[in-house]
């Protein structure tokens, strides 16, 4: 069943390759969506795909890449919208628009 997972990850998650880590893991799992830095220092992830694959991504997000420190992960499950065709990093410049 296709689902949507929305996460807000707090801790030392910016400037430690967290977005790149998330993108690589999500693509490897066959998921689509996006990841972006948030002004408060957290990272937001929206991913869609098979529920079991999303659960695997959630486990990975709770660990993060080597240089990160994940303090908290808020996660929300929703129905998939189908709005994404691939998994991408939203840059700070794109976010400002």
CB-based burial of residue 10 (10 Å sphere; 0-12 exposed, 13-18 middle, 19+ buried)?
middle
Q: Answer yes or no: 69 catalytic.
A: no
Query: Exactly one of 12, 19, 69, 72 is catalytic; which is it?
Result: 19
8 a catalytic residue: no
Catalytic one among 4, 8, 27, 37? 37
Question: How many CA atoms lie within 13 Å of 23's alpha carbon, on the beta-carbon side?
Answer: 14
Active site members: 19, 37
């Amino acid at each position: 069943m296709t689902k949507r997972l929305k996460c807000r990850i707090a801790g030392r998650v910016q400037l430690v390759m967290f977005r790149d880590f998330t993108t690589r893991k999500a693509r490897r799992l066959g998921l689509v969506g996006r990841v972006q830095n948030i002004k408060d220092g957290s990272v937001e992830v929206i991913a869609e795909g098979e529920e079991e694959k999303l659960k695997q991504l959630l486990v990975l997000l709770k660990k993060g890449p080597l240089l990160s420190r994940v303090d908290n992960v808020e996660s929300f499950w929703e129905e998939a919208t189908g709005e994404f065709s691939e998994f991408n990093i939203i840059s700070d410049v794109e976010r400002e628009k």
